[in-house]
Structure 1
Amino acid sequence: MSGAVLILGARSDMARACAHRFGRAGHPLVLAARNAATLEADATDLRLRYNVPVTCAEFDATDIATHAAFLDALPELPAIALCAVGAMGDQALSQQDPQAAATVFRTSFEGPALILGALAERFEKRGSGTIIGISSVAGERGRASNYVYGAAKAGFTAFLSGLRNRLARTPVQVITVLPGFIATRMTEGMDLPARLTAQPAEVAEAIFRAHQKRRNVIYIRPVWRLIMAIIRALPEPLFKRTRL
């Protein structure tokens, strides 16, 4: 049987798809999220489908003081830790309400970074492990439409990059996932371009392959690498006139 996979933020559509992909490959699973009891239906389905052990754990990424106890209480230190925690929030609300903006920062950057940092320490001490952080192309350049969320994801992407650089001479692997548009409950109702929009199962497959191939940074659809390269390259006077 393959090593256990810890999925943080296990209630999201991307996280669920990842649980199915790793479960199908024979990995035991630990599903972690707030109100963990509500994950039991998913856990039962995964056990029946893939005949792998699945446990549920209570976890709140924004409650930093509980992180160490959460890790100590796990049945075992996982082989793979995947963080799908994040909140896009509402840009207009975040502009007006500091608490709303703080929630986005804590949920999309501070909490995920600190829990993965704690796992990295344990993985390095053990001498093995894979850390997978789901960030976003939104963090590659601040845009008027989502710069609070983008700033949080920029921080998370930089954190993962630094962690990977620090651990480069160890067996610990760090993967940064940069999805573009994903068809999830969070984006339901948005008018998303089909060519640029991936399905959760597509994200899960890309992540699974990235782990196998020991990739560093992945875009779910390659076209996003080109799109973001163009956006990053725009001179600031021109960029200020865009509506992105």
Structure 2
Amino acid sequence: MQNIIIIGATSAMAREVAKLYAKEKANLYLIARDTSRLDIIKQDLVVRGANTIHTAHFDANQFDSHQVLIDQAFDALSRVDVLLVAYGSLPNQELCQTNSMKAIEELNTNGISVISLLTYAATKMEQQKSGNITVITSVAGDRGRQSNYVYGAAKGMVSTYLQGLAQRLSKSGVHVLDIKPGFVDTPMTAEFDKGVLWAKPEKVALIIKKRISNKVTFSYTPAFWFVIMTIIKIVPKVIFNKVKL
């Protein structure tokens, strides 16, 4: 029976991952900002077969609460098999370009707060010498683009952090996985027109769980985004700066 912590448990992808673990009768510790939605999700996961479910309120930008939050989650479960970080916000890029405080807020939410939480969680995992840390970042972190470079900067920061963390924790038997989804059809992207490159959160969740179980380190989700982002990354700057992405 596995013990799972999910931070950002009300997000669409996180909910789908939680459902998969509930079917396996896992013990779940769900953390999110919206406690009313969290209660609804909890009841659904009980019906789906979860063994025990703990919940906790969380505000990403209340940094002084992070250590206590992590300590309480690990204490409740004794041993943690999987820690999934799955929250974030999709900022208004134009507003961030003219309001530095808004830009800083978004960098804190999507980047600094994740690193803060992992600072405490990684030490716990290192001490238990087992487990998995999975963080949902984004393909947007691979190359800055005018349409979302504040968001991309935060996600890129986390991805670089995870590279170093993976190297460090590999010596303790802890698996670190950076999940970089492309376009996913979630409430956060409800206003976007959908096309063939868009994936459903259910599909992304299956991929995430499989990679955790098999200790795979491949990031792009679905896998075809590896090809897309490889092309985007190698386009020369003189050409890249002339296109609108």
Matched length: 242
Query: Quick check: 1:27 aligned with 2:26?
Result: yes
Q: In structure 2, how many angstroms separate the alpha carbons of the residues matched to 1:82 and 1:51?
A: 17
Report if the CA contact (8 A) 2:24-2:50 is conserved. Answer: no
Structure 1 window deviating more from structure 2 (28-37 vs 142-151): it is: 28-37
* Correspondence for 1:153 among 152, 155, 158: 155
Which residue matches 2:135?
Answer: 133
CA RMSD of aligned residues (A): 1.2
Q: CA deviation at 1:37?
A: 4.3
Structure 1 window deviating more from structure 2 (181-190 vs 62-71): it is: 62-71
Q: How does 1:73-92 map to 2 (within 5 A)?
A: 73-74=72-73, 75-77=76-78, 78-92=80-94
Report if the CA contact (8 A) 2:207-2:222 is conserved. Answer: no
Whichever residue aligns with residue 18 of structure 2, its letter is A
Which residue matches 1:103?
Answer: 105
Which segments of structure 1 move beyond 6 Å, counting only runs of 4 or more?
A: none
Query: Quick check: 1:214 aligned with 2:185?
Result: no
Q: How does 1:94-243 map to 2 (within 5 A)?
A: 94-194=96-196, 196-243=197-244
Whichever residue aligns with residue 227 of structure 2, its letter is L
Q: In structure 2, how many angstroms separate the alpha carbons of the residues matched to 1:51 and 1:228?
A: 37
Report if the CA contact (8 A) 2:27-2:50 is conserved. Answer: no
Q: CA deviation at 1:186?
A: 0.7
Report if the CA contact (8 A) 1:202-1:220 is conserved. Answer: no
SS at match of 1:241: coil
Whichever residue aligns with residue 90 of structure 1, its letter is N
Q: CA deviation at 1:217?
A: 2.9
Report if the CA contact (8 A) 1:37-1:56 is conserved. Answer: no
Q: In structure 1, how many angstroms separate the alpha carbons of the residues matched to 2:104 and 2:63?
A: 14
Provide TM-score, normalisation by structure 1.
0.95
Gaps of at least 5 residues in structure 2 are none
Report if the CA contact (8 A) 2:9-2:30 is conserved. Answer: yes
Report if the CA contact (8 A) 1:203-1:220 is conserved. Answer: yes
Q: In structure 2, how many angstroms separate the alpha carbons of the residues matched to 1:151 and 1:192?
A: 24
CA deviations 1:210-231 (Å, max 9, x no partner) are: 0111011321122110010001
